[in-house]
Amino acid sequence: AQKVTQAQTEISVVEKEDVTLDCVYETRDTTYYLFWYKQPPSGELVFLIRRNSFDEQNEISGRYSWNFQKSTSSFNFTITASQVVDSAVYFCALSEAVGYGGATNKLIFGTGTLLAVQP
């Protein structure tokens, strides 16, 4: 079954610390996509990154970086030099192709990690 596990329920760090959010997934598909979303207290979901299963290159975007390892089915997210504005719930998600010919994709979300960055 498709599943996303975010074992860290809450993380608290002090500003400027680095923090890594873990994500482990299970899927029977050979082609799939992984995502990270940020949900600040306002509630809106903000798209951060999408990675397909054939691209294992790590990615860096400013203070954000992602480590995708198929061998361990993990897609971890690191924030370098954290800031108070990074405080939010972060969701990892896995796409599942459904429907005729896999024409439809739905997202399966992990339970989220609440990150609190203290000043």
- CB closer to another protein, 14 vs 47: 47
How far from each other are the two terminal CA atoms of the chain, in whole angstroms?
41
Q: How far is the CB of 99 from another protein (least distance, A)?
A: 7
- CB closer to another protein, 13 vs 49: 49
Q: How far is the CB of 17 from another protein (least distance, A)?
A: 25
Tokens coding 41: 């207290």
Q: How far is the CB of 61 from another protein (least distance, A)?
A: 15
CA-atom Rg of the chain in angstroms: 14
Residue type, 114: L
- Would you give the DSSP letter of residue 9? S
- CB closer to another protein, 45 vs 81: 45
